[in-house]
Amino acid sequence: MMNLSSRIRPSLLKAVAPACARAMSADAKLVDLSINEKTGIATLTMNRPPVNSLNLELLQGLSKALQELEDNRKCRGMILTSSSPTVFSAGLDIMEMYKPKPDRVKAFWSTLQEVWLQLFGSSYPTVAAINGHSPAGGCLLSLSCEYRVMVGPQYTIGLNETKLGIVAPKWFMSSMLAAIPYRQTELALTTGRMFSTEEALKIGLIDEVATDKADAIAKAEKFLGLFAKIHPVARKLTKLNLRNDALDWLQQNRELDLNIFLSFVNQPIVQSSLEKYLEALKNKQGK
């Protein structure tokens, strides 16, 4: 295994991990991964300024880090967070879908599928420490974890795909359904609703509110501590049995799901909708 500790930003490591933490191999530019050797808790930090939009390379970095944790027998849990002070993740990088290059967009979607399968189906427990806005793919990543602590009250979270004229695939829906009831999921998805921290807590989209990132990490660690005396194999099999239908659907239908996405994203009406959304982002008030 490569030792990438020298490539991980020292300031970031210091902020998220105590002295006994060891940097693990990961794409150090876009993803920081460290593990506390004493507790076995890993911290995976998305690090693609300005907003952690999920492009192919960030997804590849996440996938590699998740695999590393899966292979690390010392890992007792993982906290997913962001190095940005205000954004957890802005979701899928719209530039990957706008006027897409055929090979790249295929790799992009396939890697997103892979990351979801790895995260939703991880054998170790997972918590999202949501330290900023978390729309769309950001919300998906946090919903794929088992527990969500979100800094409030100023940030928002939700699957807002319909607002961009795109459709959240079945496994995005399954992820939300794993957290909140069907009725709330239908309303949230069809309206593309973004929830305030308080609203998200009220419907169970998040589990706890934190005052700042340090508080979110502390709460995440406390949640992971619940498993200290639980047999890891019993825990893992319980989780995977509960999540099996959703995982199995994507495992069996990766090609179909990819083809649906490709034919959808290449439609002129979708491209024009993405173009308008991008323009609105660039021209929004305050810029």
Ligand X SMILES: CC(C)(COP(=O)(O)OP(=O)(O)OC[C@H]1O[C@@H](n2cnc3c(N)ncnc32)[C@H](O)[C@@H]1OP(=O)(O)O)[C@@H](O)C(=O)NCCC(=O)NCCS
Residue with tokens 């300005």: 50
242 contacts ligand X (rule: CB under 6 A): no
Nearer to ligand X, 90 or 117 (CB): 90
Bridge partner list, 129? 149
Q: How far is the CB of 194 from ligand X (least distance, A)?
A: 8
Number of residues that bind ligand X (CB under 6 A): 19
Which residue numbers are catalytic?
A: 92, 137, 160-161
193 contacts ligand X (rule: CB under 6 A): no
Q: Which stretch binds ligand X (CB under 6 A): 22-30, 86-94, 119-127, 143-151?
A: 86-94
Of 27, 32, 93, 146, the one binding ligand X by CB under 6 A = 93
176 contacts ligand X (rule: CB under 6 A): no
Q: How far is the CB of 164 from ligand X (least distance, A)?
A: 5
Q: How far is the CB of 102 from ligand X (least distance, A)?
A: 19
78 contacts ligand X (rule: CB under 6 A): no
Half-sphere exposure of 73 (CA within 13 A, CB side): 0
Of 1, 2, 6, 50, the one binding ligand X by CB under 6 A = 50
Nearer to ligand X, 95 or 242 (CB): 95
CA 198 from centroid of its chain's CA atoms: 20
Bridge partner list, 157? 134, 195
Contact track, ligand X, 123-162, x by CB under 6 A: ----------x-xx-----------------------xx-
119 contacts ligand X (rule: CB under 6 A): no
Omega within 30 of 0 (cis) for the link into 153:
yes
Nearer to ligand X, 159 or 220 (CB): 159
Residue with tokens 């940030």: 155
Binding residues for ligand X, rule: CB under 6 A, are 50-51, 53, 86-87, 90-95, 133, 135-136, 160-161, 164, 281-282
